[in-house]
Chain A
Amino acid sequence: MANSVITVIGKDRVGIVYDVSKILAENQINIVNITQQLMDDYFTMIILVDTSKCSKSFPELAEFFTQESKNLALDIRLQNEEIFKAMHRI
C-alpha cells in the first residue's frame, strides 16, 4: 500500500511536533519521513506516514484529523502519496 502524506500548517508554538506525533502514535500510524520548517510565523510540517497498521478507514481518519485540527488549532491534512505523484510527475 502506498504511503500517505500528512501536512501540518499553523501558527508556531511550543509542542506542535509532540502533539502531532502523539496522535499518530496513538493511532498506529508510523512515521516514515518528516520535514519541518518555519515560514514567517507559520509552522509547516510534512510527514510521510504508513497507515497500514491503523485500524481507522480513510473517511474515519479524515474526520479524525478534522477534529484534531480544531483541538490543536492547526490545519492537519492526510492525502495519499499517489496524488502528488500524479500531479507533479510525468
Chain B
Amino acid sequence: MTIQSSEILETIRMVADQNFDVRTITIGIDLHDCITNDIAQLNQNIYNKITTIGKDLVETAKILSAKYGVPIVNQRISVTPIAQIAAATKADSYVSIAQTLDRAAKAIGVSFIGGFSALVQKGMSPSDEVLIRSIPEAMKSTDIVCSSINIGSTRAGINMDAVKLAGETIKRTADITPEGFGCAKIVVFCNAVEDNPFMAGAFHGSGEADAVINVGVSGPGVVKEALANSNATSLTEVAEVVKKTAFKITRVGELIGQEASKMLNIPFGILDLSLAPTPAVGDSVARILETMGLTVCGTHGTTAALALLNDAVKKGGMMASSAVGGLSGAFIPVSEDEGMIAAAESGILTLDKLEAMTAVCSVGLDMIAVPGSTPAHTISGIIADEAAIGMINSKTTAVRIIPVSGKNVGESVEFGGLLGYAPIMPVKEGSCEVFVNRGGRIPAPVQSMKN
C-alpha cells in the first residue's frame, strides 16, 4: 500500500499550519482502594497510587509525539470524585487532599489533575458538602487541581440546594483567588460524563476500570481550512467536508491512544473528538462557523451552524473509532477562542446567544467572565438555566463562569496560556434570589411526550 505524496503533505499541513494536535492523554485512576478513615493515610495512599500508575505518562507522550510527528499537548490525570473517596475520614475539610493531588500531579509532570469533585444530582451526602465547601480554599492553595460538581441529570432532576451552594462556592473562589482565576478550574455540570479527558471537568467515574487511557483530539483549524479550501457550496456538502475531516483527525487519536495503551499497559478507554479551541489564531471554533457564511459568530444562524458542525464532527468520529466517548463535539469557551473573544468584544455574541448555542453543542457556558459584583444567586440562576437545558434535552451541559473581582463590563481579564483572555460580559438586571433560595429539587422531566 503506497501513500500518496499529497496525503503526506496534507497531514503535515494540518500539524504545521492548522494547529492540529492530540490535545491530551489522560489516565483515569480509580481511588476506591485508597479509602481509609485516617486522612493522613488516605493522602499517602492517593499520592502513591497516582505516582505509581502515572509515572511513565509524560515520557510515553513524548515518544509518541516524536514517532508520529503530532504534538501531544497535555498529559493529565483524572481520579474518582474525591467526595466518594474521603467520606470515611469524617474530616471537615478536604483541602489537604487537593494539595496531595497537586503534589502527585506535579511529581509526575502532568499539566492538570481533575476529580476534586462531587456528584450531587439527586442529593448531597455530608462528604459531598464538605468537598464543595472545601473548593475555594482548595483552588487557592493548589495550582493544577480541577474541580467539578454534577448538580443535575435527566433522570434525577436538578438539585437546587447544590446549585445554590455552587453559586456561593464560585463567588467565594473568585473573591480569594487573583482575578477570580480559581473559577477557571471549576465546572458545574448537568449530566456529567464519566470518561471525559478534557479539563476542567475530567473525573474518573465509578463505573470505570482501575486505570484507563482516555485521549482527547482536537483540530478546529483543520476543519476551518478544510472548509475554506473545499468546493462545498450547499450545507449538505459542508457537513460532508466536516465529517471527512473529523474522521481523519479521529484516526490519529485512535492510533495514539492504542499505542499509549500498549506502552503503559493500561487499557484504552475512549477517544474524545472535540473541536476544542485555543487562543491561537487559526484554532477557533467561532471562525469555522463564520467560514460557513456568518459575518460574526453570535449573529442569527449561529445556533444552526453550530448544530450542523457538532453533529458532523460526531458522525465522522464515530466511523473512525469504536470507542468514541467523553464529550465529543464542539466546545465554545469564550476566553479560549480567538473568534469568540472578538465576537464577544463586538457585543454581538452575548450570554443569551451562548446559552442558546449550548443546547446544540458539547458542554455549555464555558470560560465566561462576568462582573465581580455579580451576586452568588445570579450565578446560581445561570447554572440552573444551563442545567435545565441539559436536563430537558438529555445532554451534558456545564457552566464555567468567572466573576472577576473589581472588574466591570467594558474591561477584560487575562488568564494567560491556554485559558486566554476574555472581555467581561454583562449579566441581566433583575434578581432570581427568591427562586434560588427556595432550594429543593427541580423534578426529573418526563421522557416521553417529547416536543
Chain A interface residues (CB < 8 Å from chain B): 4-5, 7, 9, 35, 37, 44, 46, 57-59, 61-63, 75, 77-89
Pairwise interchain contact B1-A87, C-beta atoms closer than 8 A = no
Pairwise interchain contact B1-A79, C-beta atoms closer than 8 A = no
Partner of A84 from B7, B63, B65 at Cβ < 8 Å = B7
State whether A75 and B16 are in contact (beta carbons under 8 Å apart), knowing that A7-B8, A83-B70, A87-B251 are contacts in the complex: yes
User: Complex formed: what's the CA distance from A87 to B222 in Å?
Assistant: 13
User: Complex formed: what's the CA distance from A85 to B8 in Å?
Assistant: 10
B13 nearest CB across to chain A (Å): 10
Partner of A79 from B4, B11, B62 at Cβ < 8 Å = B11
| Contacting residues, chain B, for A85 (C-beta < 8 A) | 1, 3
Partner of B252 from A7, A57, A75, A86 at Cβ < 8 Å = A86
Interfacial residues of chain B within 1-59, with CB under 8 A of chain A in the complex = 1, 3-5, 7-12, 16
Instruction: List the 3 closest A-B pairs by CB distance, nearest first.
Output: A79-B69, A62-B66, A58-B66
Question: How many residue pairs between the two chains, A and B, have CB atoms under 8 Å in the bound complex?
Answer: 73
| Contacting residues, chain A, for B5 (C-beta < 8 A) | 35, 37, 44, 46
Interfacial residues of chain B within 387-428, with CB under 8 A of chain A in the complex = none
User: Complex formed: what's the CA distance from A82 to B67 in Å?
Assistant: 10
Q: Who on chain A is nearest to B253 by CB?
A: A86
Chain B interface residues (CB < 8 Å from chain A): 1, 3-5, 7-12, 16, 62-63, 65-70, 248-249, 251-252, 254-255
Pairwise interchain contact B12-A88, C-beta atoms closer than 8 A = no
User: Complex formed: what's the CA distance from A89 to B11 in Å?
Assistant: 13
A22 nearest CB across to chain B (Å): 22
Pairwise interchain contact B69-A83, C-beta atoms closer than 8 A = yes
18 residue pairs of the A-B complex, CB under 8 angstroms, read A5-B8, A58-B66, A58-B67, A59-B62, A61-B66, A62-B69, A63-B66, A78-B69, A79-B67, A79-B70, A80-B69, A81-B3, A84-B7, A86-B251, A87-B251, A87-B252, A88-B4, A88-B248
Pairwise interchain contact B3-A88, C-beta atoms closer than 8 A = yes
Pairwise interchain contact B67-A80, C-beta atoms closer than 8 A = yes
State whether A46 and B8 are in contact (beta carbons under 8 Å apart), knowing that A75-B16, A83-B255, A86-B251 are contacts in the complex: yes
Q: Who on chain A is nearest to B251 by CB?
A: A86
Pairwise interchain contact A77-B69, C-beta atoms closer than 8 A = yes
